[in-house]
Amino acid sequence: MRILLVGEYSRLHNSLKEGLQELGHKVTLVSTGDQFKKFPSDILLNRRYHSGFSKKIKVGIYKMFGIDITSISLKNQFFSYKEEFKDFDVVQLINESPFSIAAKEEREMISFLKNNNKKLFLLSCGADYSSIKYAYDKKLRYSTLSPFFDGKVSEKDSDPALKYLRPEFVSLHKFIFEEMNGVIASDLDYHIPLKGHEKYLGLIPNPINTSKLKQLPFIVDNKIIIFHGINRGNYFKKGNDYFEAALRKIEDKYHAKVEIITVESVPYSEYISAYNSAHILLDQVFFV
C-alpha cells in the first residue's frame, strides 16, 4: 500500500513508518518536525515567525487583522507539494490539528487529503477535543488540566489544550469525525474518552523500532543515576513540579548515593544520549 503519515509527535510516525516499510509498504511522512525535537520527515514544512523580531510582526498582524501568518505560511508550503499528497491508499493524521495551526487552515489541508486519497484515519495520541472535553468535565481523577484547575497555570498558559474547546476547533473535530474512516487511540488515556464511539477502532500501542534499541548493561557502581527530562513549555502539564519536589528530597536524604541528571527542551537525539546512562527515568505524571 501507499501510506501518507501526517504530523509527528515524539517520533511516533517515524517509528511507524519504519515498521510499515519493513512490511513492504511505501510510506511518506510530512510534518514540521515536532518543534525543537527536530524529527526527520520526507517532506519537512518550516514553521516560520515563531521567534525573535518576526514573531513580534506576527503578533502585531494577528492583533490588527486576526490573521495568523504562521498558519498561512504552513498551508502555502503544504499546497506547494499538493501533487505529492495524492493517490494514497491510506492517510493517517497524528492529531485533529496535525500541524498545530489555526483550525481554518487545518481544515483546508485535511479536506484536500480526504478528497484526493482513498481512506482517512485519525490517531488520538495527544490533546484533542475528545480527551480535553473529558478532562475538562472532570471525569478523571487527575489529568493534564489538573494544574489549570489547581491554579498553577493560567488559562492563557493552558491554551494549547483548552483551544480544542473553542468553537472553531470543535467544528474541526466534527468535520474530521464525519469525514474519516476511523479513529485509533495510542494509549489508555485516549482510549477511555473514545469508548463507544461508532468510528472508534480500538487501542493500538505506540510503535517501537526495537532494532534501534541496543540493550545496555545495567551497572550500578557508586551511585544510582536518575534522569529527569523537562519540556519547559509543558512543565506543569507533565507534572514536572512534582518530580522536582521529590528529587530535592531524594538529593537531601541520599546525596552520596544518587546522581540526578536534568535536561531541558533538547532535541530528541540529545535527549536519548543523556538518559542512556540512567537507572531511573522520570517523564510525566499526568496523562493526555
Question: What gap in Å lies between CA 197 and CA 190, rounded to an integer?
Answer: 12
pLDDT digits (tens, 9 = 90+) for 44-99: 999 888 777 888 888 888 888 888 999 999 999 999 999 999 999 999 999 999 99
Q: What is the pLDDT of residues 190-208, one digit of tens each?
A: 999 999 999 999 999 999 9
| Residue 219 pLDDT greater than 90, yes or no | no
Assess whether pLDDT exceeds 80 at residue 266.
Answer: no
CA 121 from centre of chain = 16
Query: Which of 200 and 153 is assigned the larger pLDDT?
Result: 200
Sheet holding 26-31, edge to edge: 43-44, 26-31, 2-6, 90-93, 119-124, 182-185, 200-203
Which pLDDT does position 287 carry in this prediction?
Answer: 60
Higher pLDDT, 235 or 186: 186
Q: pLDDT band for position 143 (50/70/90)?
A: confident
Domain boundaries, given as residue ranges, for the chain: 2-211, 214-282
CATH 3.40.50 fits 2-211, yes or no: yes
Specify the pLDDT at position 231: 75
- Given a contact cutoff of 8 angstroms between Cβ atoms, the answer to whether 157 and 201 are in contact is no
- The answer to whether 134 and 164 are in contact (CB under 8 A) is no
Q: pTM of the predicted model, to two decimals?
A: 0.83
Q: What pLDDT is recorded for position 94? A: 96
Give the pLDDT mean for 113-134.
96
Q: Judge whether 199 and 179 are in contact, CB under 8 Å.
A: no
| Edge-first strand listing for the sheet containing 280-282 | 258-264, 224-230, 280-282
Model confidence pLDDT, tens digit, residues 161-171: 999 999 999 99
The answer to whether 122 and 96 are in contact (CB under 8 A) is yes
Rounded mean pLDDT, 134-143: 91
Q: What is the pLDDT of residues 226-249, one digit of tens each?
A: 999 887 777 777 788 889 999 999
